[in-house]
Chain A
Amino acid sequence: MNEFKLLAKRDGWTIVNHFLEIRYNPKRLVIYLLYLIWIGSLCFNAVLRFRNPGEIQLQLGPQILGAGFLGLGAALVLYFLYRGTMESATFFTMGDVHLLFPAPVSPKKVLLYSMVKQSLLYFLLYGFVILAFIPMITNIARVNLQYLPFMYLGFIGLVLVIGPLNFLVFAVGSKYGIQLRLQQGIIALIIIFILYLVGNIIASGMLLQGLLQGLNASFLDYLPVIGWSRVVFMTAVTGYSTYSAFALGLQLLFLICCIVISYNTADDYYEDTLNATEQRSLRKKRKAGVEKAHSISVTFNKRKNIIVKKVGTGPWAFLWRSKVEYSRSDLHPFMGVWTIVFLLAGIVVGYFVARQRGGIIPVYITNGVIAYIIFIFSAANAGQHELAKPYIYLIPGSNLLKIINSNLTGILRMGINIAALNIPLGVLLHAPIRVIVIMVIFDVSFYTLNLGSNFLIRVIFPSALDQKALYPLFLMLQILLLLLPGIIVGGIMGFVFQEVLMAFVGVAVVNIIIIGVLLLLSNVVFARLEWK
């Protein structure tokens, strides 16, 4: 049978089964409905914004938008190009690997079909992503409704080329054995890009000004992919020109070229996609709340023997284990690559802010943003990996100690990272020591907040099916329940004392109280926990 027909049949069955599944399991409908409401509210919001355009739409608006798009686009494309020298993109599932790859079907046609399918799918799906950003975009700059499709096409043009480009870099690299050469070339590109930005910052003497100028330089519009898609994207803001349509054409041509060249170079790509496919399938299971993430992110993988002294027995084994894991995967059990990043960020931000206006407010802003990011990122998988393994249920000892011990190292590391950021920041901006200390406690309290609460989710919704289906919702609910008390109390404190610092103290104290309560509850909670 013809390959395309075979694959189309398979996808046809899949789509039908998705619909049937809703019929047998109407619970899913609730989720889809909620997503729909969410999307609807986004649209509604966007329309409202259009009716009464923002109060003060900055002169700088279009510049910020253009610079942001180009900066993010460049980062994205360069990152995936770089990854392409080490790992291929994948358009497949594990089912493909085990059933389709061994079958007598032409690998080229399979690739072509899968690439085109993914492109079409993304074309539809990412519409929602841009929808989510529209309120923000209209807030920054005035958008011409008539050219809204260009905005979408510019964005999607960038998204669509990433997969094929990534795949192509890997395929070409491994076919001609020039991975290293490609890697060096891409690193050179990255360095040139960064130098260009730094040059602009130095030339203008101001961080944001320099970045804006650098990223908005008009010659960048002729950069392949990134520049073209920016031109298309910005058509909705700056107005239509012939180059807009031309850039759109170029973008499409580029995508087609990528796919055609991939089709022609790739005849033996099965092994290349294996690893990425496996990773993707794991990630998918993780998202569904079944398999859990690695306990830590791995920057290194030291092969030599790691020696960590015994810390104690029972629950203390968790502390020992986490120290071993961090020693193997990072610079030091308590410090890592991120410490350096935070330190540098503290110095850079501190330096530029001090030159521009100084004051203590930027310290608050920086830490507020960081706390938020930390909280969101730790919400998804804090403590889950431990619950997915049987040891925490089996090892004898106090549950409270088990939870504390398995997280202590992570909390300590986070504290050190935050301190690395805040100390230079505070020194450069002449912040009093108590501010720095409170900032560290504040940020760490957000990191810790999720650790205890993820245990609760498992008890409240013990059924794996419920968890899988409603997981994103729980997460949102959990975020609300955990964040609100702190924010309310912090707001009151700030208002009463008429001091921003007191608001931070309030939030931190409430967070710590919540953490304490959750920890004290741990024994009750554990009695009801099940290992899945």
Chain B
Amino acid sequence: MLKVEHLTKQYRNVVAVDDISFTLNKGDIVGLLGPNGAGKSTTIKTIVGLLRKTAGVITIDNYPNTSLEAKKRFTYVPEAPELYDMLTVWEHLQFIGYAYDVANFEEKAERLIERYDLWDKRDILSKELSKGMKQKVSICCALLPEPDLYLFDEPMIGLDPKSIRETKLIFKELSEQQKTVLVSTHLLDSIENLCQRVLVMKNGKIIVDMAMEEMKRELGNSENVSLEDLFLEVTKDE
């Protein structure tokens, strides 16, 4: 589904992503973890095509990531979503519906805004929404086209407990539908029972790429090793 080979991304004088490679297969739900500044957002933005890769190849279903064919196959939730100030919530969904050519989007959009408690906000201008509500709209926009690949950059930040629960549920459903998800997050327990696999980044490199089970086996063996323990263990400085 998603294939990243020897990806390097350099800002003017910072190497933010340093020669990383990984592959996501159909049906994979993968957590992208790492301390602040590890390069998670940069990786995702480069896959999305907002940033140019300095070196490497990214393909989605064998199409180069910036091609239209590739873009039809994924959606993206940015880490601090900004919307069109002067469009209403419903118009955002309409816009996405048109942009991605979503078949009978109205029905799907209605279902989504109902799930995220945005029904009574549907005719409100986005500039009057709070941060958390904008985040919800952005998630709805990403879910609406029902693509094969979802790229989420810290989607839970700013969400209320109910929306977090809803998002987790949706991840589960996506997994059942054999969709592919790459989600960067710091809320480790929120993905602990969801992701079959984690990528841990640090200083622009992938230092761990393992199935969750394997990782637990390797590092703790005991029943009550949490993802948090594992994370702190692998990312600690020598």
Q: Please give the residue numbers on chain A whose beta carbons come within 8 Å of chain B beta carbons, in ascending order.
A: 1, 5-6, 9-10, 13-14, 17-18, 21, 93-95, 97-106, 268, 270-271, 274, 281
Contact = CB atoms under 8 A, between A and B. Distances in A.
B92 interface: yes
A101 B68 CA distance: 11
Interface stretch (B43-51, B173-181, B212-220, B230-238): B43-51
Given A21-B125, A270-B50, A95 B99 contact: no
Interface in B72-116: 72, 74-76, 78, 81-88, 91-92, 95-96, 98-101
A2 to B, nearest CB: 9
- The 8 nearest A-B residue pairs measured at CB: A94-B82, A95-B84, A104-B71, A103-B99, A14-B86, A104-B72, A102-B76, A1-B98
B91 A271 contact: no
Given A21-B125, A271-B52, A281-B82, A99 B96 contact: yes
B150 to A, nearest CB: 11
Interface centre among B78, B85, B92, B100 (most CB of A within 10 A): B85
Interface string B135-153: 0001001000000000000
A98 to B, nearest CB: 5
A479 to B, nearest CB: 28
Nearest to B82: A94
Contact of B87 (A5, A17, A103): A17
A99 B98 contact: no
Contact of B49 (A9, A21, A102): A102
Contact of B83 (A1, A99, A274): A99
B82 A101 contact: no
B21 interface: no
Contacts of A105: 68, 71, 99
B71 A102 contact: yes
Interface of B: 48-52, 66, 68-69, 71-72, 74-76, 78, 81-88, 91-92, 95-96, 98-101, 125-126, 138, 141
A21 B85 CA distance: 12
Contacts of B96: 99, 103
B99 A100 contact: yes
Given A5-B98, A6-B98, A104-B69, 20 more contacts: A1-B99, A10-B87, A13-B87, A14-B84, A21-B86, A93-B85, A94-B82, A95-B126, A98-B81, A98-B82, A98-B138, A99-B83, A99-B96, A101-B50, A102-B49, A102-B71, A102-B76, A104-B71, A268-B52, A270-B49
A195 B203 CA distance: 49
Contacts of A5: 98
19 contacts: A1-B98, A1-B99, A6-B98, A10-B87, A13-B87, A13-B88, A14-B87, A17-B88, A17-B125, A102-B76, A104-B69, A105-B99, A106-B68, A270-B51, A270-B52, A271-B51, A274-B50, A274-B51, A281-B82
A410 B100 CA distance: 52
Contacts of A268: 52, 66
A18 B49 contact: no
Contacts of B51: 270-271, 274
Q: For the complex, would chain A's binding face be called helix, strand, loop or mixed by DSSP majority?
A: helix
Nearest to A284: B85
B141 to A, nearest CB: 7
B84 A93 contact: yes
Contact of A6 (B72, B86, B95): B95
B155 to A, nearest CB: 13
Contact of A95 (B48, B76, B83): B83
Nearest to B77: A98
A303 to B, nearest CB: 10
A498 to B, nearest CB: 57
Contacts of B81: 98
A103 B85 contact: no
Contacts of A93: 82, 84-85
A95 B82 contact: yes
B86 A18 contact: yes
B50 A102 contact: yes
B71 A97 contact: no
Contact of A101 (B49, B83, B88): B49
A394 to B, nearest CB: 22
A17 B92 CA distance: 13
Interface centre among A97, A268, A271 (most CB of B within 10 A): A271
A404 to B, nearest CB: 35
A6 B99 CA distance: 7
A515 to B, nearest CB: 37
Interface centre among B68, B82, B96 (most CB of A within 10 A): B82
B50 A97 contact: yes
A5 B94 CA distance: 13
B118 to A, nearest CB: 16
A103 B48 CA distance: 9
A180 B91 CA distance: 44
B56 to A, nearest CB: 15
Contacts of B82: 93-95, 97-98, 281
Contacts of B83: 95, 98-99
Given A6-B98, A105-B99, A99 B92 contact: yes
Contacts of A10: 84, 87, 91, 95
Contacts of B126: 95
A103 B71 contact: yes
A204 to B, nearest CB: 45
B85 A95 contact: yes
Nearest to A94: B82
B129 to A, nearest CB: 13
Contacts of A274: 50-51
B47 to A, nearest CB: 10
A93 B126 CA distance: 14
Contacts of A106: 68
Contacts of B95: 6, 9-10, 99
A101 B48 CA distance: 9
Interface centre among A101, A102, A103, A106 (most CB of B within 10 A): A102
Nearest to A3: B99
B55 to A, nearest CB: 15
Interface centre among A13, A99, A268, A274 (most CB of B within 10 A): A99
